[in-house]
Structure 1
Amino acid sequence: MTENQTPDDDTRVQRVVEGSALRALAHPLRVQIYDILSQYGPQTASSLAQMTGESTGSTSYHLRALAKYDLIKEAEGRGTARERWWERPRGSVTFGSTEGLKTPSGRAATQVVMTEFFNRRHQQLMQFIADGIAHPDDEATSMITTATARLTDEQMGELNRRLMAVIDEYVDAYRDQTGEGVRVVSIRSDVFPLPEEGK
């Protein structure tokens, strides 16, 4: 799984999180904190405590654990001696590697991270669907779609590249946009083979 953020310059930064860093991330609250920083930008232990329902002591502890493996860093130019701001470094991130998935600990850590990540994203999607009934204007500008096709591995790869190119274009152009009417938007794209019939 890949999570995207705009790089600071035109060079697309990509990191594979594996080994000790992946095992450090493999905790439900750490995945939640990491995802909040990815979606909403820099936060403090206090703001994360409010967003997660945890204590400030707990979020501080998990922030330090994430920072130890360079999964997050202090936000430059923000904060005081009493209040530290944390952010996720820019660039795309892939959780797990082909080599790492060959070990039981690598598979287990990858499964925990991906399960927690997608559970959180699924809860956000279901909340949007529930809220959509009360806010029909959002339905007009949003898209939730699914489709099925019969593709070869090469065709799947080409589809993935084309989808990522469009997503990267918008992330690069608008990641740090602020102003009236601007909201944080989740962009999802799933391309994967279905189980064989009868299995």
Structure 2
Amino acid sequence: MTETEDVREGRTLDAGALRALAHPLRVQLFDILSQYGPQTASSLAERTGESSGATSYHLRALAKQDLIREIPDRGSARERWWERADKSVSFDSPEALASPAVRSATQLIMNEFLGRRHQQLMRHVSEGIAAPDKEDDASMISTANIHLTREQAADLIERLSAVVSDVVAGARGHEEDPDRSPFTVRVDVFALPEDGDGR
């Protein structure tokens, strides 16, 4: 499982980083920094409904594992700015996942991360239905059901990853452009269960 909205030099998270990230608020902070760019503890407190003391504490914990970093030339001693570290991350280290505790931490991270993304998707759908006249031609929700061999699935994943990587590389460095706004890209490719049960 790879978290790839920032497709850059990749990092497979070790057990220490996975344990540090395995907290609902830390997943939320990490994801907000990924999606919306640099933030302060105060701005993150406003977004999450937590206190700035709590967000500051969890930001420092994430920074200790190099998951995020402080922006030294921005802000002041009282207002520190934080950003996501400059790498994509993968949660599937075979060594780390050999530990039941780390597997449990990884499951918590993925549940929180995907739950948050699903809530965003459902909000987009609800708002689109509530305001059908709203112009929004820059979105797509599409699914496809196909029968593939393992080799074809691997090829599809490689090709989709290349497209996302190319677009991310072209957009990098333009985050402050006022004509740009945050988008999320989600690509899911996986084999369906044999019994047809989605649970």
Per the TM superposition, whether the score is higher than 0.5 is yes
- The residue aligned with 1:3 is 3
C-alpha distance 77-175 of structure 1, shift in aligned 2 (>3 A): same
- 1:80-119: CA deviations, max 9, x gaps? 1111001111121112312322220121011000000000
Write the mapping of 1:1-199 to structure 2, written as runs, cut at 5 A: 1-4=1-4, 6=6, 12-133=8-129, 134=131, 136-138=134-136, 140-177=137-174, 178-197=176-195
User: Alpha-carbon deviation of 1:176?
Assistant: 3.5
CA RMSD of superposed structures (Å): 1.6
TM-score, L = length of structure 2: 0.92
User: Alpha-carbon deviation of 1:197?
Assistant: 2.2
Partner amino acid for 1:87? E
Matched-pair contact (CA < 8 Å) for 1:96–1:106: no
Partner amino acid for 2:25? L
TM-score, L = length of structure 1: 0.92
- 1:157-193: CA deviations, max 9, x gaps? 1000100111111111113324343210000100011
C-alpha distance 6-188 of structure 1, shift in aligned 2 (>3 A): closer
Matched-pair contact (CA < 8 Å) for 1:22–1:96: no
Matched-pair contact (CA < 8 Å) for 1:5–1:90: no
* Unaligned residue ranges in structure 2 (runs of 5+): none
Distance 1:198 1:184 in 2: 35
Q: Which runs of 4+ in 1 moved over 6 A?
A: none
Distance 1:141 1:104 in 2: 42
Distance 2:135 2:96 in 1: 44
- SS, match of residue 99 in structure 1: helix
- 1:46-84: CA deviations, max 9, x gaps? 000000010001001101111111111101321111110
> Quick check: 174-183 or 128-137, which moved more?
174-183
Distance 1:126 1:15 in 2: 30
* Unaligned residue ranges in structure 1 (runs of 5+): none
Question: Identity of aligned pairs, percent?
Answer: 57
- SS, match of residue 76 in structure 1: strand
